[in-house]
Amino acid sequence: MSSARTPKEVLEYAKAHGTQMLDMRFSDLPGLWHHVSFPIAQLSEGSFEDGFGIDGSSLRGWAAIHESDMLLVPDPSTCMMDPFTQIPTLVMIGDVIDPITKQHYERDPRWIAKKAEKYLQYSGIGDTAYFGAEAEFFIFDNIRFDQTQNSGYYFIDAEEGRWNSGRVENNLGYRPRYKEGYFPVPPTDHYQDLRAEMVSTMLKCGLEIECHHHEVATGGQAEIDQKFDSLVKSADNMMLYKYIIRNVAAQHGKTVTFMPKPLFQDNGSGMHTHQSVWKNGAPLFAGDRYAGLSDVALWYIGGLLKHAPAIVALAAPTTNSFKRLVPGFEAPVNLAYSRRNRSAACRIPMYSASPKSKRVEFRPPDPSCNPYLAFAAMLMAGLDGVQNKIDPGEPLDKDIYDLSPEEMRGVPSLPASLDESLKALENDHAFLTRGDVFTEEVIETWIDYKMKNEVDAIRLRPHPYEFAMYYDI
């Protein structure tokens, strides 16, 4: 993103780049980026107050038809040139405003994230929450799927997929084995150049990238790590990150998915989310307690663990998410914390002894989530832990697979399905409504939307594997 911060600077930036079109971006409730374009002459300094009119009636989780008129007010700090359009196009993220009341629209996910930041400051605990999310994804060469009344199927293919090792034509070998795709050099890693192009495009668009690499699964699983930033900026950056990855892949005839579990019997894609709270430029999570943490950090962990069943309804929010979050497969389903155990929901990274690097990594989220809602929910849970001094209990430093059945019974775990997590959210959301960050209406809308359009939709359809198990019963 550019360094422009004022409307005047945006107009100068647009002129300097020969801009012909303005593209306004915004997120629906589930987390898909949408856009609407205008000739650049429509943009003036007054646009940053008056906004641009849109119809919000057909967006998932948004307004009914009778209240559908909305305004998109551009945020000048988000401006950049789109790296993919043929016509020079200026991109800005817009905040959604009710044209009658001139108030922020309560179902605008970005506004919810902004309110979470405001609540942090209001609480007096800190003034800045930093988030750094590690989103994983798959790069495929072909994907086919359909669901009809009498059929249901999907077919995935990737040149790099281990399943192609027996292919007769054009088979050159060098494909990661299942669960052995972590860090191999080319030619086993087929996508070094493609990921590097993604990173290069991200850097041009103003994102700060720390590293990229192949992930554990075969078939093109990858990870590109962004540098942490404040809550809203990190969520903005994640939306741009997804946009760039998908479009670079498309330019090479490939497709990317952030679906957490597309492949059977191989690793799924997570979005481990590092977070910390600061005040007056000083980190609050460093101390002399376990793993170099402070009491504030331990209480924050206590809040995350207490509310984790509800958080995952927003941070791992698909039926497919829970095909990744399965006990016994190194998934972070155990509601405990540890500096070493990666099956614990909260991990404390030990890469650096610097107080500034002290943070908590919450591991259950996946990249199918809306980052604005997920980050806001995590912060609110952590703040509830600090405000109520919630004890996270003893750390879980043993190998989870070495624990006895009696010991395992003492370690609570995440819900086993989206249905269960939505019930947890329904029963435990007072921590989210503090400061009116999440309204009751937003939470009710989320639960209703997910139950009707996802949970019930899956329940109603026969699964292909059910035919293998039951056809001859």
pLDDT at position 329 = 66
For residue 426, give the amino acid letter: E
pTM score of the predicted model:
0.96
Say which of 25, 272, 324, 347 is annotated catalytic.
272
Residue whose pair of structure tokens reads 């400061």 in the numeric block: 435
Radius of gyration of the chain (CA): 23
Say which of 110, 214, 363, 429 is annotated catalytic.
363
Ramachandran assignment for 253, one of left (phi > 0), alpha (psi -120 to 50 degrees), beta (any other): left
Write out pLDDT tens, residues 340-351. Answer: 777 899 999 987
Say which of 215, 229, 384, 419 is annotated catalytic.
215
Write the CA distances from 355 to 18, 29, 294, 360, integer angstroms.
45, 36, 10, 12
The verdict on whether 55 is a catalytic residue reads yes
Q: For the chain, which ranges sit under pLDDT 50?
A: 65
Q: Are 278 and 390 in contact (CB under 8 A)?
A: no
pLDDT at position 197 = 98
Distance between CA atoms of residues 13 and 2, nearest Å: 8
For residue 126, give the amino acid letter: G
The verdict on whether 60 is a catalytic residue reads no
The verdict on whether 363 is a catalytic residue reads yes
Distance between CA atoms of residues 56 and 64, nearest Å: 8
The verdict on whether 361 is a catalytic residue reads yes
pLDDT at position 85 = 98
The verdict on whether 106 is a catalytic residue reads no
User: Dihedral, CA atoms, 429, 430, 435, 436, nearest 10 degrees?
Assistant: 50
**Tokens, residue 266:** 């191989």
pLDDT at position 351 = 77
pLDDT at position 401 = 64
